[in-house]
């Protein structure tokens, strides 16, 4: 074992804080943190694409939303779905969709890739928006949370908000650790190599298309996991959950925290949701209801963040030190 | 479907396609020449429609509103490029996506603050408020024909500007090699600012002439933006010719997707799934030619 780095210590402290939170916080906050952790899983899955493989996807919400719809179909009317069946099913459907879309979109790169991912996600949006089987524009309710019964034995119940919280926390840790191990493996080195120089990786004999497709599908599966729990928590799914605003906002989470770090995605997800709440709670100023028009300030914030925080929140130190050293260079970079 | 209905749908499809071309040509020029992916482009279409709505109420005349609206759109374009977009040329596409996404939120919310969230209508100008009768029950509005004509004139004008004038030559050179053009003593920053403003003005103008037939409503810009992305992907980035062909193609596919009914194996596919048609078309083009019909192979 090497020496403990300050980053690791902070990580462990935050994790401990999350682990004891339900004993100190009210129900509202427990549910809020559950939502933040779900979005953190979603953001990490996108970070795998954007930050590590260098694929800027603007349609990632499609995989998130589809998994929610699978849960809604698996729990018709007031019957609850079985967690152990519906969760793998939902993730598999997201993965399958990612495979089909991935084969098409990965034929392109750069600006094309951004536009094509957006367009295909929009196609999925219209599929649910214009047809009746998914409830059309109104979406469907998920009346009952999935049941975690194995042959009559129920280790936990998602109807209990504390249980729900711990399940999501466990998944967050699991996904984070899993992705860390994956990224430290040869596979991880290869995909980072693809981001840096795909031609070189190809000439080294790696079939880069397969690696990128594997990443795209894995990211889709993980986004599906997040989407499944989001649908279970909110109790409904509608086309907006797979719309492009959702894709834009999760991309913002990844960038805000600092992409290519995984922890950045988590920090970004937490801060974006807190910011959103903060803006929605603003008072009316001079006859203008700011809480109703909070998106105005959110847009302003995004524009400023892009211009002023090139390395995200986690990279604040880096941005500041560069500003001190070389003002001109920092401005360009 | 009889011949008259068919004719009407063809005209509608071409008119929709030409309108898409106006928006998409700006998008593809900004992409091809400046290398900027501008998500807010559809927003300018919405801005144009709302300008037509508010200015025509103010002046009581759509022509004056259009003239005023174009001037305002050009100013918006110049200011945005100077203030924000010019800082993005050396940044990754990712940041261009985010900044322009932020702009969408700002413009949508400003629209909500100023005009509210209701759907508005704009009256067709009096001289064009006639229809050409086709049969006893069918007729075709002259305004739609006028729209197509205006779009065609602008398309020809743009072709002339880019292919035949000195400015167009510099624009094409700038797209091919930015540094070389700069070292030849041409102010590339000014050129980019003009191209961006031209794109904004085209999108806004499209919104203005569409306002009387499509009405003015929240979110109208984003709808157009994504269709225009499909146009650009099919036509090939930076190709105005490709944008023209793809826009007409999509206009026709979308229009006919909505009026033809198609049933396969007892499942009604069209018009229910007409919204998906253009994306299926795009998927087909991507499989055959990932760089678009008129795009350069990377």
* ipTM (interface pTM): 0.87
Q: How far apart are CA A60 and CA A45, in angstroms?
A: 9
Which A positions 43-102 lie with beta carbon below 8 A of chain B? Answer: 50, 56, 58
What does the pLDDT read at residue A157? 87
| pLDDT averaged over every residue in chain B | 88
Q: How far apart are CA B123 and CA B147, in angstroms?
A: 14
Q: Please answer whether residues A49 and A215 qualify as being in contact, where contact means their C-beta atoms are separated by less than 8 angstroms.
A: yes
Structure tokens at B287: 């499989």
**B285, closest residue in chain A (CA to CA):** A104
Beta strands in chain A (DSSP E): 140-141, 236-237, 284-285, 288-289
Q: How far apart are CA B245 and CA B48, in angstroms?
A: 24
Residues from chain B contacting residue A104 (CB–CB below 8 Å): 283, 286-287
Give the gap in angstroms from C-alpha A167 to the nearest C-alpha of chain B: 32
- Interface mutation target, options B20, B237, B279, chain A, most CBs of A under 10 Å: B279
**B96, closest residue in chain A (CA to CA):** A306
Give bridge partners of residue B65 from the DSSP assignment: none
- Answer yes or no: is pLDDT of B261 > 70: yes
Taking CA atoms, A188 is separated from A231, A266, B59, in Å, by 30, 19, 62
pLDDT confidence bin for A184, thresholds 50/70/90: very high
pLDDT confidence bin for A329, thresholds 50/70/90: very low
Virtual CA dihedral for B168, B170, B174, B176, nearest 10 degrees? 80
Q: How far apart are CA A266 and CA B119, in angstroms?
A: 39
pTM, rounded to two decimals: 0.90
Q: How far apart are CA A285 and CA A77, in angstroms?
A: 44
In terms of average pLDDT, the best of A103-112, B95-104, B172-181, B254-263 is B95-104
Instruction: Name the residue facing A118 among B106, B229, B272 (closest C-beta).
Output: B229
pLDDT digit string (tens) for B124-154? 888 888 888 877 777 888 998 999 999 999 9
- Interface mutation target, options B276, B287, B289, B293, chain A, most CBs of A under 10 Å: B276
Considering only residues A319 and A224, tell me which one the structure prediction assigns the higher pLDDT.
A224
**A132, closest residue in chain B (CA to CA):** B272
Residue A141, CA atoms < 13 Å, CB-side half-sphere = 5
Instruction: Name the residue facing B98 among A108, A109, A252 (closest C-beta).
Output: A252
Mean pLDDT of A66-86: 87
- Answer yes or no: is pLDDT of B46 > 90: yes
Q: Determine whether the interchain pair B106/A252 forms a contact, defined as Cβ–Cβ distance below 8 Å.
A: no
Give bridge partners of residue A236 from the DSSP assignment: A141
Phi then psi dihedrals of residue A110, to 5 deg? 60, -135
Mean pLDDT of A70-77: 85
Q: Determine whether the interchain pair B113/A126 forms a contact, defined as Cβ–Cβ distance below 8 Å.
A: no
- Interface mutation target, options B41, B105, B233, chain A, most CBs of A under 10 Å: B105
Considering only residues A79 and B50, tell me which one the structure prediction assigns the higher pLDDT.
B50
Question: Does the CB of A280 have a partner CB in chain B at under 8 Å?
Answer: no
Does the domain at residues A26-278 carry the CATH identifier 1.10.3470?
yes
pLDDT confidence bin for A331, thresholds 50/70/90: very low
- Answer yes or no: is pLDDT of B105 > 70: yes
**A110, closest residue in chain B (CA to CA):** B93
CA angle A183, A316, A278 (to 5 degrees): 100
SS3 A205: coil
Q: How far apart are CA B242 and CA A10, in angstroms?
A: 53
Give bridge partners of residue A224 from the DSSP assignment: none
Which B positions 15-34 lie with beta carbon below 8 A of chain A? Answer: 31
Mean pLDDT of B95-113: 92
Structure tokens at A333: 């970079």
- Answer yes or no: is pLDDT of A73 > 80: yes
Domain ranges, ordered by start, for chain A:
26-278
**A305, closest residue in chain B (CA to CA):** B99
What does the pLDDT read at residue A293? 84
Residues from chain A contacting residue B237 (CB–CB below 8 Å): 111-112
Give the gap in angstroms from C-alpha B258 to the nearest C-alpha of chain A: 12
Residues from chain A contacting residue B107 (CB–CB below 8 Å): 299
Question: Does the CB of A120 have a partner CB in chain B at under 8 Å?
Answer: yes
Beta strands in B59-167 (DSSP E): 131-133, 139-141
Q: Determine whether the interchain pair A251/B275 forms a contact, defined as Cβ–Cβ distance below 8 Å.
A: no
Question: Does the CB of A1 have a partner CB in chain B at under 8 Å?
Answer: no
Instruction: Name the residue facing B99 among A58, A306, A332 (closest C-beta).
Output: A306
- Interface mutation target, options A52, A55, A123, A275, chain B, most CBs of B under 10 Å: A123
Q: Please answer whether residues B260 and B271 qualify as being in contact, where contact means their C-beta atoms are separated by less than 8 angstroms.
A: yes
Q: Determine whether the interchain pair B226/A111 forms a contact, defined as Cβ–Cβ distance below 8 Å.
A: no
- Answer yes or no: is pLDDT of B19 > 50: yes
- Answer yes or no: is pLDDT of A166 > 60: yes
- Answer yes or no: is pLDDT of B263 > 70: yes
What does the pLDDT read at residue A286? 67
pLDDT digit string (tens) for A19-54? 999 998 899 999 999 999 999 999 999 999 999 999
- Interface mutation target, options A102, A136, A301, A306, chain B, most CBs of B under 10 Å: A306
Phi then psi dihedrals of residue A141, to 5 deg? -85, 145
pLDDT digit string (tens) for A277-321? 998 887 777 667 777 888 889 999 999 998 888 777 877 777 777
Residues from chain B contacting residue A120 (CB–CB below 8 Å): 279, 283
Decide the pairing of beta strands A284-285 and A140-141. Answer: unpaired
Return the percent helix, strand and coil in chain A, to nearest 5.
70, 5, 25
CA angle A155, A161, A164 (to 5 degrees): 50
Q: Determine whether the interchain pair B279/A293 forms a contact, defined as Cβ–Cβ distance below 8 Å.
A: no
Q: CA torsion sign, A261 to A263 to A266 to A271?
A: negative
- Answer yes or no: is pLDDT of B120 > 80: yes
Give the gap in angstroms from C-alpha A156 to the nearest C-alpha of chain B: 40
Burial of B49 (0-12, 13-18, 19+ CB in 10 A): buried
- Answer yes or no: is pLDDT of B200 > 90: yes
Instruction: Name the residue facing B237 among A111, A120, A255 (closest C-beta).
Output: A111
Question: Does the CB of A196 have a partner CB in chain B at under 8 Å?
Answer: no
Mean pLDDT of B74-96: 91
Q: How far apart are CA A13 and CA A6, in angstroms?
A: 11
Question: Does the CB of A215 have a partner CB in chain B at under 8 Å?
Answer: no
């Amino acid at each position: 074992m090497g020496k403990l780095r300050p980053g690791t210590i902070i990580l462990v402290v935050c994790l401990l804080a999350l682990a004891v939170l339900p004993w100190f916080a009210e129900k509202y906050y427990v549910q809020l943190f559950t939502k933040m952790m779900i979005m953190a899983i979603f953001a990490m899955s996108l970070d795998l694409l954007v930050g590590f493989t260098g694929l800027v996807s603007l349609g990632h919400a499609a995989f998130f939303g589809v998994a929610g719809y699978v849960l809604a179909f698996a729990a018709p009317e007031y019957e609850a779905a079985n967690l152990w069946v519906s969760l793998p099913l939902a993730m598999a459907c997201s993965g399958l969709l990612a495979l089909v879309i991935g084969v098409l979109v990965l034929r392109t790169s750069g600006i094309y890739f951004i536009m094509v991912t957006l367009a295909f996600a929009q196609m999925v949006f219209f599929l649910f928006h214009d047809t009746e089987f998914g409830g059309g524009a109104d979406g469907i309710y998920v009346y009952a949370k999935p049941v975690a019964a194995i042959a009559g034995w129920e280790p936990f119940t998602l109807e209990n908000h504390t249980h729900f919280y711990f399940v999501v926390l466990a998944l967050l840790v699991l996904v984070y650790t899993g992705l860390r191990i994956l990224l430290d493996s040869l596979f991880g080195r290869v995909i980072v190599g693809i981001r840096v120089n795909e031609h070189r990786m190809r000439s080294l004999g790696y079939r880069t298309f397969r690696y990128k497709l594997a990443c795209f599908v894995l990211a889709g599966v993980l986004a599906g996991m997040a989407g499944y729990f989001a649908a279970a928590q909110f109790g409904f799914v509608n086309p907006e959950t797979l719309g492009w605003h959702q894709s834009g906002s999760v991309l913002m989470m990844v960038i805000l925290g600092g992409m290519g770090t995984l922890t950045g995605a988590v920090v970004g997800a937490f801060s974006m949701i807190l910011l959103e709440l903060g803006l929605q709670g603003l008072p009316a100023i001079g006859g203008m209801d700011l809480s109703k028009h909070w998106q105005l300030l959110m847009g302003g914030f995004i524009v400023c963040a892009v211009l002023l925080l090139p390395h995200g929140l986690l990279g604040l130190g880096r941005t500041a030190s560069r500003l001190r050293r070389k003002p001109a260079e920092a401005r360009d970079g | 479907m009889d011949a008259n209905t068919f004719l009407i749908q063809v005209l509608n499809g071409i008119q929709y396609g030409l309108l898409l071309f106006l928006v998409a040509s700006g998008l593809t020029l900004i992409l091809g020449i400046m290398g900027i992916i501008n998500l807010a482009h559809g927003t300018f279409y919405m801005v144009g429609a709302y300008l037509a709505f508010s200015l025509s109420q103010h002046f009581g005349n759509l022509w004056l509103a259009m003239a005023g609206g174009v001037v305002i759109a050009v100013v918006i374009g110049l200011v945005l490029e100077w203030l924000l977009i010019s800082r993005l040329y050396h940044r990754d596409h990712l940041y261009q996506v985010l900044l322009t996404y932020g702009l969408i939120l700002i413009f949508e919310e400003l629209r909500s603050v100023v005009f509210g969230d209701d759907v508005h209508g704009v009256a067709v100008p009096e001289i064009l408020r006639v229809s050409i009768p086709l049969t006893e029950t069918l007729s075709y509005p002259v305004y739609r024909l006028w729209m197509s004509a205006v779009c065609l004139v602008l398309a020809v004008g743009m072709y002339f500007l880019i292919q035949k004038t000195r400015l167009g030559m510099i624009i094409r050179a700038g797209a091919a090699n930015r540094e070389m053009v700069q070292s030849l003593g041409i102010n590339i920053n000014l050129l980019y600012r003009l191209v961006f403003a031209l794109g904004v003005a085209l999108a806004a103008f499209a919104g203005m002439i569409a306002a009387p037939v499509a009405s003015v409503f929240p979110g109208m810009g984003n709808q157009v933006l994504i269709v225009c992305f499909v146009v650009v992907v099919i036509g090939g980035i930076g190709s105005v010719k490709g944008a023209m062909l793809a826009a007409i193609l999509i206009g026709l596919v979308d229009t006919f997707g909505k009026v033809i009914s198609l049933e396969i194996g007892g499942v009604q596919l069209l018009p229910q799934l007409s919204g998906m048609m253009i994306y299926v078309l795009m998927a087909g083009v991507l499989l055959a030619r990932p760089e678009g019909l008129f795009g350069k192979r990377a």
